[in-house]
Structure 1
Amino acid sequence: SAGRPKALRRAVDLLWAAKDLAESGANSKQYEAAALTLCEAARAARDARVEGRARTTLTMVHLFAGRFAEADEQARQAMELARGAGDPLPSCWAPNDRGIIALYEKRYEDGERYLLEAIESFRADDNHIGEASALCNLSRIHVGLGRLDSAIDLARQGIAVYDRMGLTLRLANGRYALGIALTQAGRLPEALDQLGEALSLFHDNRQPLWEGVTHFRLAEAHLAAERPTLAAKHAEQAIALRGIGGEWRRATVLTVLGKALRRLGQPDRARACWRDAETVFAQLGSAELSEVRALLASELAA
């Protein structure tokens, strides 16, 4: 029955509505299989609208698994299909996703370009939730670019939208972005406050993946505040909860855990963490490889 255009459109919209399943990590394998099947069916039916939406859901699956090149390719195709089909959904979300991918790959100028396009598209479509999401992502890009005042401001703008709409779970994402910006700005008590709020919201909304990522950010903030014991504790919780980004994210957490362990006078455990992270980053060709190699070299020189 998936061959019928109406059924296809209903199926892809259900898949889109259920995207939190992929995000919660509960059924991501089944979700990915469904997205692939729909992609092929849409292509066979020459339905650009369904294919564009299906590729947008596939982008997300790859993104959560840390497969950034695959995610970017799906998003690029989704953008092209959306232009042809005049479909606002992928026209907005695909550049937003490409902005997130660029952020993770430390291509900040590209990320800024994509996210400004996303914000414009969301505003044109009157999609306030999407706009707030893109503002929070742009905040993260500005952190990468060292523009910390505007990073804090953008996250606060996103939070204001979520607040106005009464969206608790999304509010957690906003506080998460603000916490990262405040950490980088050295405003650590405020950062820990925002991240603590985000953590309990994610926990209450049963979002273990986001909980894991927030523990990682709390580890970073505690490390910056010279509290290595708490940093190590949060990093270990992040690893236990398996954050978004699969092996890539696990390796970024191990990098921070190693830094905390070194400060706690446990250089052997620190080195073990960094060697594990080095293997992952080398396999993925990640931008983080040079940092972890520098940490290993500094430890050898010590």
Structure 2
Amino acid sequence: MTQNEQLTWFRKLYNSNEIWDAHTVIKNAFNRNPGDVEVFQEYFFFAIKVAEWDIELETRRSFFQEADTAVVFFSERTDLDEEKLELLGECKHKLHKLHLEILNAEQANRRAYEEEVRSNNLELLRKLTGMKMDIYKSQNQTEFENLLQDLQNMEKRLDKNFLTEEQIQFYDELARDFTKLIGSKLTELQQKELLAYNKSAVADFQYVFEEFHRNESRYQSSHFELSKLVSGRLFKYKTEDLRNETLIYYNHIYSYIFGKLDGDGKFRLTELSIGSART
């Protein structure tokens, strides 16, 4: 393909808005003949035009750099005369002007980004403040853990590099408040859960006692029936999680049943006590 044919192909692609293909063709033509003034002009002004478009800055910078490099290559490989020197001056002027435009666009983008981050930080600090009351009012472990996960996610989204001195101080105070609040709420929920656990245990122990008392002969004579009664209720609970008063009640029920059984029954009851799964 001749140079003229390649330039014609480039213009056709460009006019059809096939920009990336046009770019490939004209860049190839320039690299093959970097000293040709016609090819240089087509390549340079194409790159400048794309770099002037309102598109992502990374692409604009890339085409600007190609135009800048093309000027250097052309100036070193062409036979310079007054007309070409004037052309190079015009190209450098365009590059300087475009460079300032891209810098201004970058600064505008940076200002917009920083403003967005500061606005987001302000909203996150407001939500974090509200979360103190949410955590304080949480009623169970699941709700509490979900709130802690939300808290962690919000803290990750907070960009501390853009906090003001006043906001840093406020955030540090929040962090101290959360540390105290979370510790206090954790203790509260553990106590609440332990209380519910013990209440459930007392209710089960009472059922076992009353049921055994009503049907002593049934449970004295059948290991199977005895096992059904005590395994899922009397021997269901971990003794280390039972309060002293609950343990006293447990020992009372256990001793009562143990005293009503014969030697084999006592052995079976002890075996059940050791082997039952406790939750």
Q: TM-score, normalised by structure 2?
A: 0.31
Structure number with bigger Rg: 2
Q: TM-score, normalised by structure 1?
A: 0.29
